[in-house]
Structure 1
Amino acid sequence: MSQQDLNSGSHEAITQHSAHMDDYRALVKIACLLSSEPELDNLLNLIIDTSNSLLNADRSSLFLVDYATNELFSKIALGTSNEIRVKIGSGLAGTVAKTGEIINLRDAQNDPRQQKRIASEQAYIPHTMLTVPMRNHSGKIIGVIQTINKKTGSFNERDEEVSLAFASLAAVAIENATMRRDIELMLKSFIETMADTIDLKSPQTAGHSRRVAFYAAEIARELNLSKDNIELIRMAGLLHDYGKIGVPEVVLKKQGKLTEEEWGFMRQHVSITEGILKRLYLIGELKRLPSIAGQHHERVNGTGYPNGLLSEAIQMEAKILAVSDVYDALTVRRYYREPMTHIDALNYLRTLTGIEFEGDCVEALVRVVERVGAPQNPYEDTALQFGSTPAETLAPDLSRFLQ
């Protein structure tokens, strides 16, 4: 072997090593990128965009396995807006999902395994196509990535290796995002179920917690709070009265005026709520959930309970809950009184701005009511009623209204 051949071989080996290092560095960056996106829908779109860029391709599709129907499904396919469903074992994607083997086509248009294209796709002709399986930690196939029409030539062995490694990274990211979503949905359903148990104990206030949660979340949006804070206050709204589970039913269901002793029992629900919620294992911002719910009867001038906190000591989310709670209490029918109109209730809240309630929260509620009205509530008829009677003439015993 000549020196020229040796030099040529050495140069080729160095070039291949450099290419592999480039691929490795690219995949490390991609792994970091995918792991930083917690939202499943956003992640799926990110995977498609990255697949195209990584393989210098025209478009891609991502299919996930639906084991319940023995199908692959996808709403994520660049250039299409239709959901695509493919039987496992049928077509290119279905074959890869069944066998776990890579399919690399250099003449995709004439391959007999190609599925018929949907009407909107008839003008788009696939020439080259690389289809690889997505395997999770345990090696189970959870989906397929299909990359179409490489912009320069055909997909080669290096593309196959890179795409397979990328598919594994994508599978792990999808499973993590799916688990996160499922945990969040489980937590939300648990909290909503807890809130509904209060309706079973106190039918006269049925739907109150859901309405308070609705108003509070909308006020938070009006005040431009973060997405996480909006969700936090929605949960606090759902659970703010959970402590009423510890209040005697004779007090909760009494149709007349409460005695001082009964009113003392009623006020205990706030501390009971906070105590119960503190027993939940909560993480991140959710750790503030018990204290927010425990402050919803505090007032900015210090006349609230259970701790008589002044404005600066009350969390903003609790101030929002206070306004939402009182507004709903005034505008819903009870055994012992008719509801205020929504206009009158807003006027009443305005008269106490800076005294009991935060002004920004009250004005944000006004905008919410103007924008969306009363929430659609499955438990009770709370259709909007607008009137002009002065609020102060309608509420001679507001303490009973606001239990």
Structure 2
Amino acid sequence: MTASSPMNRDLFWRLIEISTALSSERNTARLFEKILDAAQDITHADGGTLYLLKEKNGRLALEFEIMRNNSLSLTLGGTSGRPIPFAPLPLLRDDGTPNHNNIATHTALTKRMENIEDAYCAEHLDFSGTKAFDARTGYRSKSFLTVPLCNHEGEVIGVLQLVNAKNPQTRESIAFPQDIEPIVAALASSAAIALDNQILLQDTRDLLDAFIKVIAQAIDAKSSHTSAHCQRVPALTELIAEAACQAAEGPLQSFNLNENDWYELRVASWLHDCGKLATPDYLLDKSTKLHLLIDGVETVKTRFTALMAQVEAGYLRQMRDNPAQIPVLEELMREEIANLADDCQFIEKANKGGEFMSDEHKARVRQIAERCWKDHLGVEQPILTEQEVSFLCIDRGTLSFDERQKINDHMKVTIQMLESLPFPKNLQRVPEYAGGHHEKMDGTGFPKGLKRDQMSWPARMMAIADIFEALTASERPYKPPMKITQALGILQRMRDQNHIDPDLYQLFLTARVWEQYAKRFLKPEQLDVDSIDAYR
């Protein structure tokens, strides 16, 4: 076959066409299939196998990625969904010597193409596995063309093996012609480049994913009270996004995410709280109102104990000086000590925080603060400091306004951190998605005060996911884990107050996203919803 023959020209243009197709394919499984399709097409091979070289347990082995045989109508691996039931082929034997018996491992070790006219006559290689396959299937494996796939550094990354070249006219099995070898070698080179690029991209993505999850785990590790929050929010966000993609009507019926969009959303949801790395640990761990590095209520209780002892000592002195008044003084002493004990118990309860601190309770805290006790120097000190009074009068939860502002600053840090990263084009919306989960639809959220129409759907989804996870989490020390009825009631009020997106809330409710999440992550007793009608 001459260089200018029509067949060579056709193969040349076919090779260019195949190389272009391989370089543009982004799906790894489809890339495997295109490589094998092209090789079989050019060589008229009846079957073929693509192996990738991987390291497992410190040993290099060729793993089956896709296997095909036209005569047997057999397709395994790739996008078929059918696994290949063959063990990987190790490059080294158990004794550490190179495995040159198997044609695929021999090709990987030598980096040379092997063209076998008839496997049953090849005495230098072990085709026992091939013969066993033939015996089971009634097939006759004859000619083999096995080609190493080498990357730009000359390292073997895989092996392409073709079986039984077919005569285009008679369809009988023939040897692979030698003049096809340069064409197959060129195809293998193009395939190796495409495959190596795909492997490098996947390795980079795997590294980024691992790095992102390490950051999330570090944030969760800062506080046992928010542990797993950074892991559950991504799961819930994806459940909401899946429901949105499946919406057949309404504002979300045209919403859809492609493969890159899903990855972008996943990265953003894993990084949504990365700014908490800069948040002081004692704030993340503030389980009570007086908790700083330790719970200050213990100091307050000690003061009450000292004051009770001082009150008792004062009455005992009066009893010594006025024996006739002992019964009256004893009653007064018991009453005052009981009142002090009751005040101390009230302070302990107020310290735990909750959904609401009434004005009446705040007034009682201030009244108690007027009491004084004497320190070790005999100097009168207030039973509660001004800071303690301020903390104990916190309306909701355990954080003061200033502390909440420090917590809220994590969103500014999150956005600063993410906007400083050189995200590629397909991840450029990560800062917007991750940085918007504390915004409210009426513009009263933070850090930017965005309104609904200024936010993307994914950012609004993440806001609902963040709230619902926090409400139902079982690790928060200042509240028991909410049941679904209570959490949905709060989301409903937030919808009515224009704090969360109403369309996404409706989707969250009617698509029963809350139920899917609860079955995966919550305790069985939290799932207490009989009907969603009350929450529409």
- TM-score range, shorter-chain basis? 0.7 to 0.9
| Residues 40 and 181, structure 1, Cα contact 8 Å, conserved in 2 | no
Deviation at 1:221, TM superposition (A): 1.7
Cα deviation digits, residues 141-180 of structure 1 (max 9, x gap):
3322111112214311232121111111111111110000
User: Which residue number in structure 2 is paired with residue 18 of structure 1?
Assistant: 6
1:2-401 equivalence runs, <5 A: 13=2, 16-66=4-54, 68-78=58-68, 79=74, 80=76, 81-88=84-91, 89-112=100-123, 113=125, 114-117=127-130, 122-123=136-137, 124-152=139-167, 153-224=174-245, 225-226=256-257, 227-254=259-286, 255-256=288-289, 257-333=398-474, 334-353=476-495, 355-366=498-509, 367-371=512-516, 373-376=518-521, 382=523, 385-387=526-528
Deviation at 1:240, TM superposition (A): 1.4
Deviation at 1:372, TM superposition (A): 5.0
Deviation at 1:249, TM superposition (A): 2.9
Cα deviation digits, residues 285-314 of structure 1 (max 9, x gap):
312212222111111122211222111101
Q: Distance in 2 between matches of 1:63 and 1:320?
A: 42
Q: Distance in 2 between matches of 1:281 and 1:115?
A: 53
| Residues 113 and 147, structure 2, Cα contact 8 Å, conserved in 1 | yes
- The one-letter amino acid of 1:241's match is D
Deviation at 1:49, TM superposition (A): 2.0
Q: Distance in 2 between matches of 1:118 and 1:185?
A: 39
Deviation at 1:331, TM superposition (A): 0.3
Q: Distance in 2 between matches of 1:13 and 1:188?
A: 52
Gap runs ≥5 in structure 1 = 1-11, 392-403
Q: Distance in 2 between matches of 1:151 and 1:343?
A: 68
Greater mean deviation of Cα atoms: 289-298 or 220-229: 220-229
Deviation at 1:92, TM superposition (A): 1.7
Q: Which runs of 4+ in 1 moved over 4 A?
A: 118-121, 381-384, 388-391
Deviation at 1:119, TM superposition (A): 6.0
| Residues 219 and 365, structure 1, Cα contact 8 Å, conserved in 2 | yes
Cα deviation digits, residues 189-231 of structure 1 (max 9, x gap):
1111111111122221010111011100121122123132222
Identity %: 29
Q: Distance in 2 between matches of 1:241 and 1:38?
A: 31
- The one-letter amino acid of 1:302's match is G
| Residues 236 and 517, structure 2, Cα contact 8 Å, conserved in 1 | no
Q: Distance in 2 between matches of 1:390 and 1:340?
A: 17
Deviation at 1:388, TM superposition (A): 5.5
Q: Distance in 2 between matches of 1:339 and 1:346?
A: 13
Q: Distance in 2 between matches of 1:242 and 1:41?
A: 33
**SS at 2:495's partner residue?**
coil
Cα deviation digits, residues 61-97 of structure 1 (max 9, x gap):
1122346424322132113522343344122222222
Q: Distance in 2 between matches of 1:173 and 1:115?
A: 32
Deviation at 1:389, TM superposition (A): 11
**SS at 2:429's partner residue?**
helix
| Residues 53 and 63, structure 2, Cα contact 8 Å, conserved in 1 | yes
- The one-letter amino acid of 2:47's match is R
Cα deviation digits, residues 351-384 of structure 1 (max 9, x gap):
43362222332244343233453545xxxx7556
Deviation at 1:13, TM superposition (A): 4.6
Distance 1:341 1:30, change over 3 A: same
Q: Distance in 1 between matches of 2:491 and 2:23?
A: 46
- The one-letter amino acid of 1:320's match is M
**SS at 1:387's partner residue?**
coil
User: Which residue number in structure 1 is paired with residue 294 of structure 2?
Assistant: none
Cα deviation digits, residues 220-268 of structure 1 (max 9, x gap):
1221231322222222222212222223333322223322222222221
**SS at 1:223's partner residue?**
helix
**What is the TM-score of this pair, normalised by structure 1?**
0.85
Distance 1:235 1:338, change over 3 A: same
